[in-house]
């Protein structure tokens, strides 16, 4: 049996070493495929990041496929069983950096669209594709700026499918209909340096911090809701001291992170943290970084359409989930009322010998095509 079009395109994309923020020509490949299918293709460059926007049609509703061509660095090349940018099939698995995250999804997008348009050239609505090379990096000049540009010129998105690898045990078992927010803080507790033999002449910031840290760690920030688990607080680093055992440190620095649900807000979490610290009489500074706000798409047309497509193609009943880290869905959700993420099994993403099952690529493409059919064909 000849290799499928989606597999061949996946291999072509993997062979392009698009380590973030490089695109390595991937988006040119996509434009060459989508142009003949009737898409108006546009390159949007912001600083060192290349982004790609393509649209077929002007009518509503607009269904957009979104993803990223950039990949994380390979890590030690000698630990890979084969060159990470030379796609190789072994024992039914396709190996290469980006195989799962997320060049197979992008290839499946493109071929699904090609097949759908060929079969239904007069479909209702419009189809879009939003691709960045900045998702695995700082995410400053990628999807967020494309979304700002689209909003400024009046392009209205109705549905968006982000091709993140969401499946856990088998293709189709998990669809992400939201993501938690991420709020980080760098807390500096101020004390007074001194000799450990004369503690009355010093103020140990670690000792001062300890009761407040215990309260922070034990606080219930919220109880989550139907879609989100409770907000969590985690310390990622705590450091102080000069390296000498006989010196009380002058300050202690604590790095922490909230993964928060829609039941909490960044401002609310900031206030509660500072209130706790003040209640313990601490002298401190905090530098805050909001990595992303939570987004949620309640059950509706899009989740029903993709869940139905998964069931039709695989027989699997998809679970809606908001677990995991942040994604570019957080930017798209600001201009699109319905956003979900769906893609292949994520067990090997960002790892040495990243891979995807070859026999999952064709069903993945078919699920995307069936979703197009469910949303953009008039079945009345």
Question: CA of 169: how far to CAs of 94, 348, 371, in Å?
Answer: 17, 12, 21
- 180/150 Cα distance (integer angstroms): 24
Tokens of 171: 């293709």
Residue 70 annotated to the active site:
yes
Name the region of 75 (left: φ>0; alpha: ψ -120 to 50; beta: rest). Answer: left
Closest CA relative to residue 259, chosen from 291, 237, 218, 226: 291
- 354/74 Cα distance (integer angstroms): 9
Closest CA relative to residue 126, chosen from 40, 46, 211: 40
- 359/248 Cα distance (integer angstroms): 61
- 306/294 Cα distance (integer angstroms): 21
Q: At what angle do helices 104-119 and 361-376 cross, to 10 degrees?
A: 50
Helix (H, G, I), strand (E, B) or coil at 294: coil
Contact of 375 with 125, CB cutoff 8 Å? yes
Query: Whole-angstrom distance between the N-terminal and C-terminal Cα of the chain?
Result: 37
Which candidate in 23, 101, 114, 135 is catalytic? 135
Residue 301 annotated to the active site:
no
- 203/292 Cα distance (integer angstroms): 36
Contact of 97 with 71, CB cutoff 8 Å? yes
- 199/147 Cα distance (integer angstroms): 56
Residue positions annotated with a catalytic role:
70, 135
């Amino acid at each position: 049996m000849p290799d499928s079009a989606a597999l061949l395109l996946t291999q072509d994309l993997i062979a392009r070493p698009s380590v973030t923020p490089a695109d390595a020509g991937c988006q040119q490949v996509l434009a060459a495929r989508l142009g003949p299918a009737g898409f108006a293709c546009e390159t949007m460059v912001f600083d060192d990041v290349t982004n790609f926007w393509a649209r077929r049609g002007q009518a509503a509703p607009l269904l957009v496929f979104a993803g990223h061509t950039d990949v994380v660095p390979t890590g030690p090349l000698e630990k890979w069983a084969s060159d990470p940018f030379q796609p190789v099939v072994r024992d039914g698995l396709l190996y290469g950096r980006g195989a799962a995250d997320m060049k197979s999804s992008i290839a499946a997008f493109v071929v699904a669209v090609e097949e759908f348009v060929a079969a239904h050239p007069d479909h209702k609505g419009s189809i879009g594709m939003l691709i960045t090379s900045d998702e695995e990096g700082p995410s400053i000049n990628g999807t967020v700026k494309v979304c700002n540009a689209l909003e400024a010129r009046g392009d209205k998105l109705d549905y968006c499918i982000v091709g993140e690898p969401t499946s856990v045990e088998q293709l189709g078992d998990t669809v992400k209909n939201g993501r938690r927010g991420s709020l980080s803080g760098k807390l500096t507790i101020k004390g007074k340096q001194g000799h450990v033999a004369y503690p009355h002449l010093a103020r140990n910031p670690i000792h001062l911090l300890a009761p407040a840290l215990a309260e922070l760690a034990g606080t219930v920030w919220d109880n989550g809701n139907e879609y989100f688990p409770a907000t969590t607080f985690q310390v990622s680093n705590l450091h102080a001291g000069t390296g000498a055992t006989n010196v009380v440190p002058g300050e202690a620095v604590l790095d922490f992170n909230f993964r928060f649900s829609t039941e909490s807000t960044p401002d609310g979490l900031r206030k509660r943290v500072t209130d706790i610290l003040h209640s313990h009489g601490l002298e401190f500074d905090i530098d805050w970084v909001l990595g992303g706000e939570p987004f949620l798409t309640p059950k509706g047309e899009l989740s029903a359409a993709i869940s139905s497509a998964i069931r039709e193609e695989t027989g699997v009943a998809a679970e809606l989930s908001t677990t995991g880290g942040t994604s570019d869905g957080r930017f798209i959700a600001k201009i699109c009322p319905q956003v979900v993420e769906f893609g292949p099994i994520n067990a090997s993403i960002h790892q040495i010998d990243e891979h995807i099952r070859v026999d999952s690529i064709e069903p993945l493409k078919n699920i995307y095509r069936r979703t197009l059919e469910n949303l953009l064909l008039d079945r009345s």
